[in-house]
Amino acid sequence: MSIRSNFPSAPAVTAEQIAHAAELLDAGQLVAFPTETVYGLGGDAENPEAVARIYAAKGRPANHPVIVHLAPHGDPNYWVEHLPADAQKLIDAFWPGPLTLILKRAAHIPSAVSGGQDSVGLRCPSHPVAQALLDVFGARRGGHGGVAAPSANRFGHVSPTTAQHVRDEFGDTIHVLDGGSSDVGIESTILDLSRGFPALLRPGHVTPQDLAGVLGVAPRLPDGSDATAPRASGTLKAHYAPRTPLALLPFDALEPILSAARDAGERVALVARKSRGGRWASADGVHFVAAPEDPHAYARELYGLLRALDRADVSRILIEKLPDTLEWIAVNDRLGRAAAAFEARDASAP
Ligand code: TXA
Ligand code: MG
């Protein structure tokens, strides 16, 4: 028997490979696995040593919480003090899928998984390989197993959307299940329901409008001004960065930079929607990448594109800033954080 992802070209993962990976998790070891958003670096969520191994592998500070992944038949009640009615409504609407809920953690769940905070982040992924792994691991834990998994990349770097990306990050030190390319391409939407009002901590494929449609109220948006917001590494200003300096500007502001780079004989990458690229799409010295016009397609390609540009022999990556509308909020968020990593050494200047 084999478990295929939604992609016809995705490699098949066998039941034996799943059983082996579940055994590794059971023994406190790490396994990287595909999800529909990005690949995760998984460990037993109730084993603080396994969680410590995740932090060590990523080089991530130990006070940053990680998301607990549950099987489709897993019981969220096991992990939380109390499951609010709003959480149940969102679970019914969006699980399995790219939505993480932050809730008050049950007292018997070790605090290591939430970086010492009193909450826990829960998500049920829709990728069939993730589900198979979570099912088999869960069965070894009397049905209650959860897999703690941040994105399978080194801290601050671009999240992986293929098994090869994971290998590029960790070499062969981490066991990887290959389930093909992640369909969503950016990390899950994170909604905090632990503080009495719904607050979006990280935008993603599930949009604020989608959430409002189920909750009946719009979630508070992340604007950096909420001092009571919990720590979340994906909410750090500089994150998701490639190695090549990156600048994010409206297309009009990019044109003079492109002209100056051309005059200086500098080779730069330009990422813009095809409809916008104009004469720069074929200009000498410009490595033009035609980005998708649609936000979901853009998200799917974003991280692979940034990784490819790190290998493209360009001195800078110039990216067209997308419209300031809710449909682009998740893509703009990731691009903004990638650019923020280079603000100190202004990548829009030569
Ligand atoms: O799509 C995803 O969410 C991927 C895949 C693997 O599921 N995972 C992911 O994990 O993006 P990570 O650790 O890279 O980002 C998870 C975010 C972090 O910013 C973390 O701090 C936040 O979720 N988070 C997890 N538990 C939390 C909690 N209890 N309170 C606040 N934030 C939490
Ligand atoms: Mg991450």
**33 CA distance to ligand 2 centroid (A)?**
14
Task: Write the pLDDT tens digit of every residue in 251-263.
Answer: 999 999 999 999 9
Q: How confident is the model at residue 240 (pLDDT cuts 50, 70, 90)?
A: confident
**42 CA distance to ligand 2 centroid (A)?**
12
Q: Pocket around ligand 1: residues whose beta carbon is below 6 Å from it?
A: 35, 37-38, 40, 64-67, 98, 100, 102, 114, 117, 119-121, 123, 125, 149-151, 187-188, 190, 201, 230, 232-235
Confidence at residue 350, expressed as pLDDT on a 0 to 100 scale: 59
Task: Write the pLDDT tens digit of every residue in 133-172.
Answer: 999 999 999 989 999 999 999 998 999 999 999 999 999 9
Helix (H), strand (E), coil (C) string for the chain: CEECCCCCCCCCEEHHHHHHHHHHHHCCCCEEECCCCCCEEEEECCCHHHHHHHHHHHCCCCCCCCEEECCCCCCHHHCECCCCHHHHHHHHHHCCCCEEEEEEECCCCCHHHHCCCCEEEEECCCCHHHHHHHHHHHHHCCCCCCEECCECCCCCECCCCCHHHHHHHHCCCCEECCCCCCCCCCCCEEEECCCCCCEEEECCCCCHHHHHHHHCCCCECCCCCCCCCCCCHHHCCCCCECCCCEEEECHHHHHHHHHHHHHCCCCEEEEEEHHHHHHHHHCCCEEEEEECCCHHHHHHHHHHHHHHHHCCCCCEEEEECCCCCHHHHHHHHHHHHHHHCCCCCCCCCC
CATH dotted code for 2-215: 3.90.870.10
User: The pTM is what?
Assistant: 0.93
The CATH label, of 3.90.1170.40, 3.30.2310.20, 3.40.50.11030, 3.40.50.300, for the domain at 246-348 is 3.40.50.11030
pLDDT at 326 over 60: yes
**Which ligand is located closest to the Cα atom of residue 121?**
1
Task: Write the pLDDT tens digit of every residue in 89-117.
Answer: 999 999 999 999 999 999 999 999 999 99
Confidence at residue 249, expressed as pLDDT on a 0 to 100 scale: 95
Confidence at residue 51, expressed as pLDDT on a 0 to 100 scale: 96
Q: Which atom of ligand 1 is nearest to the CA of 39?
A: 6
Q: Report, as an integer, the average pLDDT of 179-203.
A: 96
Q: How confident is the model at residue 61 (pLDDT cuts 50, 70, 90)?
A: confident
pLDDT at 59 over 70: yes
Q: Which atom of ligand 1 is nearest to the CA of 123?
A: 7
**194 CA distance to ligand 2 centroid (A)?**
21
Q: Where does CATH 3.40.50.11030 sit in the chain?
A: 246-348
Q: Which atom of ligand 1 is nearest to the CA of 201?
A: 32
Q: Where does CATH 3.90.870.10 sit in the chain?
A: 2-215
Confidence at residue 214, expressed as pLDDT on a 0 to 100 scale: 98
Of the listed ranges 96-110, 156-170, 201-215, 218-232, the one predicted with least confidence: 218-232
